[in-house]
C-alpha cells in the first residue's frame, strides 16, 4: 500500500528535477532578456514590414506599363470603318488606325508588340516572374547560412531598386525583358526576409500582428499603382518605374541604419557575442536593461543541426537538412504544391482585369482594395482559425468563383463580383500559406523553407501572363485554368499538420521531438480509448 502511494510522488519529483535541469530554449531565452515588446521595437518591426509596399509595386507594375491600350479607326482607309472596326489592327495599313492615347504610355504601343503574338506581349511579365523564381532558388539559403536576414534583405532591395531605375531607360523590349528579369531576381527575397526578420525581432504576442502588417503594406503598395497609373496616363510608362524605384532605394538606406539582425538566427549560428549586443539594443528600446552576465543565454539549448551549422555543409546545407528528413520533405512538397495554384491566381487575376470589360483603373483599385479586408480579417482571426482547413476551404471557394467567371457574360457586374470574391479568397489563402510555412519549419531552415514556398507561388506567376494573353480570346484559358488549378492543388494542404497555438522550433531536432511527443500523445489517447471500450464490453 505504501509503495503504491509513494510511486506517483517519486515520479512527479523525477519529472520536476528533469524539467529543472533542462536547458532553456532560444525562444524562452530571448523572451526573458528583451522583456515585453515595447512601442519603439514594435515601430521598428512595422517599419521593416513596409518593404512589402515596394515589393507589391514591382510585382504588379506591369498591369499598367504592359497594358494593351485601346485604338480607333482614323477613317483614312476604307478597310477601317469607325462604325464597324475590325477586331485587330494588325492587318490594317499604318495610317488607317491610331492609339487612343500617346504611344509612349505603354510598352505595347511604343514598341508595337500587339501584333507580335501573346508570347511577345507576355514576355516582360513572364521574365520578371522567371527572375523571381531563379533568385528564390539561388538566394534563399543565404539568409539562413552566410548573410543572415538583414544583409539579404538589403541586398535584395537595392538590386531590385537599381534594376527598376535602369528599366526606365530600356531602349527596346529585349532590354526591357532582361531588366525585368534582373529586377525579379533581386526582388525574390524581399518578402521572405521581411516576413521572417520582422517576426523574429518581436515577442510571441506580436508575431501575428507584425506578419499581417506586412500584408497591409503590400496592399498600400498595390493601391499606389492605380493612382500613379492614372497620374501618368498621358505620359511615358517610364515614369512609373522611376517613381517606384527611387523611393525604394532611399528606403533601403534608412533600413541599413535602423534594422537589426535576428537574435534567433545569431544564436542558432553560434554567434553569441553578436546576439548579446542585439539583445541589449532591443532591451533598451523596450525600456529594459540587461544587467546579468547572460548566464541563461550560455545555458540555453544551442544544439545545432545540419541546417544551422555553417561549416562543412556550405550554403546549401539548409536544403540538404530538409531533403534528408522525410517529414520535412513531405511538408515542403504539400505546401509548395498548394502555393503554385494560389500563386497562379494571385498574380494572374490582376493581370487579367482587362478581360472583364470594365475600367482598368477601377478594376485594379477594386482588386487592391480586396487585399485590405483580407489583411484585417487575418489579423483578427489568425489566432483563432485552423491553418489547414482554412487554406483548403479558401482555395476551393476561389476555384469555384473563378470558374464562374467563364460562364458569366463579359462586362457584367456579376462577373466583376465573382472575380473580386475569387481574388479575395486567394489573397486570404496567400497570407495564410506564408504564416503557415513560418510555423511549419524551425529557425535553422525557416528562411529557406519560406523562400521555397514563395518560389512556388511565383512559379504560378510565371505561367499566369501567358494564360492571361490566351484568355483575351477565350476566357477559359485564363479564368477556367485558374479555377481548376487553385481548386485542385489547394487540396494538398490537407496533408499538412495543424500548427495553430504551437510554439516555433529552432532546430530540426527540436521539431522532430515535438512531432514525436504529439505522436506519443495521440497513441496514448488511442490506447486509453481502446481500453475504455474494452472495459465497457
- pLDDT tens, position by position, 112-149: 887 877 778 888 988 998 898 888 778 877 877 778 88
Q: What does the pLDDT read at residue 24? A: 59
Top-confidence range, 275-289, 291-305, 316-330, 428-442: 428-442
Class for domain 314-527, per CATH? mainly alpha
Q: What does the pLDDT read at residue 518? A: 64
Q: What does the pLDDT read at residue 316? A: 63
Q: Per-residue pLDDT for 96 more than 70?
A: yes
Q: What does the pLDDT read at residue 305? A: 47
Average pLDDT over residues 49-64: 90
Q: Per-residue pLDDT for 170 more than 50?
A: yes
State residue 137 phi and psi, 5-degree precision. Answer: -75, -30
What residues pair up with 112 in beta bridges, in sequence order?
none
Average pLDDT over residues 503-526: 68
Top-confidence range, 166-170, 447-451, 525-529: 166-170
Q: At what angle do helices 238-258 and 39-49 cross, to 10 degrees?
A: 150
- pLDDT tens, position by position, 6-23: 444 444 444 444 434 455
Give the closest residue to 438 by CA, choosing from 183, 47, 24, 149: 149
Q: What does the pLDDT read at residue 5? A: 44
Long-range contact pairs involving 164-168 (C-beta distance under 8 Å, separation at least 24): 164/58, 164/241, 164/244, 164/245, 164/248, 165/241, 165/242, 165/245, 165/246, 165/249, 167/241, 167/245, 168/238, 168/239, 168/241, 168/242, 168/245
Q: What does the pLDDT read at residue 490? A: 93
Q: At what angle do helices 207-231 and 39-49 cross, to 10 degrees?
A: 40
Q: Rounded to whole angstroms, how far apart are CA atoms 165 and 250?
A: 12
**492: Cα separation from own chain's centroid:** 18
Q: Per-residue pLDDT for 205 more than 70?
A: yes
Higher pLDDT: 374 or 108? It is 108
Higher pLDDT: 6 or 519? It is 519
Q: Which residues of 232-271 are buried (b: 16+ CB within 10 A; e: fewer)?
A: beeebbbbbbbbbbeebbebbeebeeebbbbbbbbbbbeb
Q: What does the pLDDT read at residue 9? A: 43
Q: What does the pLDDT read at residue 40? A: 79
Per-residue pLDDT band for 350 (boundaries 50, 70, 90) equals confident
Top-confidence range, 220-224, 323-327, 357-361, 527-531: 220-224
Q: What does the pLDDT read at residue 535? A: 41
**92's grid cell:** 490594317
What residues pair up with 435 in beta bridges, in sequence order?
none
CATH homologous superfamily of 31-69+99-272 equals MFS general substrate transporter like domains (1.20.1250.20)
Q: Tell me the CA distances in angstroms from 239 to 18, 66, 113, 121, 324, one per residue in order.
A: 65, 13, 20, 20, 48
Percent of the chain with pLDDT over 70: 80
| DSSP letters spanning 198-226 | HHHTS-GGGHHHHHHHHHHHHHHHHHHHH
- pLDDT tens, position by position, 422-458: 988 998 898 889 889 888 888 778 878 888 888 888 8
Q: What is the mean pLDDT of the chain?
A: 79
- pLDDT tens, position by position, 468-479: 777 776 778 888
Per-residue pLDDT band for 308 (boundaries 50, 70, 90) equals very low
Q: Per-residue pLDDT for 500 more than 70?
A: yes
Top-confidence range, 220-234, 452-466, 512-526: 220-234
Higher pLDDT: 320 or 3? It is 320
Domains in the chain: boundaries: 31-69+99-272, 314-527
Cβ atoms of 278 and 201 closer than 8 Å: no
Per-residue pLDDT band for 361 (boundaries 50, 70, 90) equals confident
- pLDDT tens, position by position, 411-425: 778 888 888 899 889
Q: What does the pLDDT read at residue 503? A: 73
pTM for the model stands at 0.70
* Fold match, 31-69+99-272 / 314-527: yes
- pLDDT tens, position by position, 276-286: 788 777 777 76
Amino acid at each position: 500500500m505504501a509503495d503504491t502511494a509513494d510511486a506517483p510522488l517519486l515520479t512527479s519529483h523525477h519529472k520536476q528535477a528533469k524539467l529543472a535541469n533542462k536547458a532553456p530554449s532560444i525562444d524562452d531565452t530571448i523572451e526573458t532578456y528583451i522583456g515585453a515588446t515595447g512601442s519603439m521595437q514594435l515601430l521598428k518591426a512595422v517599419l521593416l514590414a513596409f518593404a512589402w509596399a515596394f515589393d507589391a509595386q514591382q510585382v504588379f507594375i506591369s498591369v499598367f506599363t504592359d497594358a494593351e491600350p485601346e485604338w480607333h479607326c482614323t477613317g483614312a482607309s476604307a478597310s477601317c470603318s469607325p462604325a464597324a472596326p475590325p477586331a485587330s489592327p494588325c492587318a490594317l495599313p499604318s495610317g488607317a488606325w491610331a492609339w487612343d492615347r500617346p504611344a509612349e504610355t505603354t510598352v505595347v504601343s511604343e514598341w508595337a508588340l500587339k501584333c507580335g503574338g501573346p508570347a511577345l506581349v507576355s514576355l516582360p511579365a513572364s521574365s520578371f516572374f522567371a527572375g523571381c523564381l531563379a533568385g528564390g532558388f539561388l538566394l534563399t539559403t543565404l539568409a539562413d547560412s552566410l548573410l543572415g536576414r538583414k544583409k539579404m534583405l538589403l541586398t535584395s532591395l537595392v538590386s531590385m531598386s537599381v534594376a527598376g531605375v535602369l528599366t526606365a531607360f530600356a531602349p527596346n523590349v529585349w532590354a526591357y525583358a532582361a531588366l525585368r528579369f534582373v529586377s525579379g531576381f533581386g526582388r525574390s527575397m524581399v518578402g521572405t526576409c521581411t516576413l521572417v526578420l520582422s517576426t523574429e525581432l518581436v515577442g510571441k504576442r506580436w508575431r501575428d500582428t507584425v506578419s499581417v502588417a506586412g500584408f497591409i503594406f503590400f496592399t498600400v503598395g498595390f493601391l499606389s499603382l492605380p493612382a500613379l497609373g492614372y497620374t501618368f496616363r498621358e505620359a511615358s510608362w517610364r515614369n512609373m518605374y522611376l517613381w517606384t524605384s527611387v523611393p525604394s532605394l532611399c528606403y533601403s538606406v534608412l533600413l541599413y541604419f535602423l534594422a537589426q539582425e535576428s537574435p534567433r538566427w545569431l544564436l542558432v549560428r553560434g554567434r553569441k557575442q553578436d546576439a548579446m549586443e542585439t539583445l541589449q539594443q532591443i532591451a533598451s528600446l523596450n525600456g529594459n536593461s540587461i544587467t546579468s552576465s547572460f548566464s541563461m543565454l550560455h545555458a540555453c539549448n544551442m544544439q545545432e543541426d545540419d541546417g544551422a551549422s555553417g561549416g562543412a555543409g556550405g550554403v546549401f546545407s539548409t536544403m540538404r537538412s530538409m531533403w534528408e528528413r522525410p517529414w520535412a520533405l513531405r511538408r515542403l512538397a504539400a505546401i509548395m504544391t498548394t502555393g503554385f495554384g494560389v500563386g497562379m491566381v494571385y498574380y494572374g487575376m490582376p493581370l487579367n482585369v482587362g478581360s472583364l470589360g470594365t475600367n482598368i483603373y477601377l478594376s485594379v483599385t477594386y482588386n487592391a482594395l480586396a487585399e485590405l479586408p483580407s489583411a484585417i480579417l487575418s489579423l483578427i482571426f489568425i489566432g483563432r482559425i485552423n491553418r489547414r482547413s482554412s487554406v483548403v476551404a479558401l482555395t476551393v471557394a476561389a476555384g469555384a468563383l473563378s470558374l464562374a467567371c467563364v460562364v458569366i457574360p463579359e462586362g457584367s457586374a456579376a462577373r466583376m463580383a465573382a472575380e473580386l470574391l475569387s481574388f479575395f479568397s486567394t489573397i486570404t489563402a496567400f497570407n495564410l500559406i506564408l504564416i503557415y510555412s513560418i510555423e511549419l519549419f524551425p529557425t535553422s531552415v525557416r528562411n529557406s523553407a519560406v523562400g521555397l514556398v514563395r518560389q512556388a507561388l511565383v512559379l504560378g506567376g510565371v505561367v499566369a501572363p501567358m494564360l492571361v494573353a490566351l484568355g483575351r480570346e477565350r476566357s477559359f484559358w485564363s479564368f477556367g485554368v485558374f479555377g481548376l488549378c487553385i481548386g485542385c492543388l489547394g487540396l494538398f494542404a490537407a496533408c499538412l499538420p495543424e500548427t495553430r497555438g504551437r510554439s516555433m522550433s529552432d532546430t530540426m531536432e527540436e521539431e522532430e521531438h515535438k512531432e514525436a511527443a504529439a505522436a506519443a500523445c495521440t497513441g496514448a489517447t488511442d490506447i486509453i480509448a481502446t481500453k475504455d471500450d474494452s472495459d465497457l464490453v
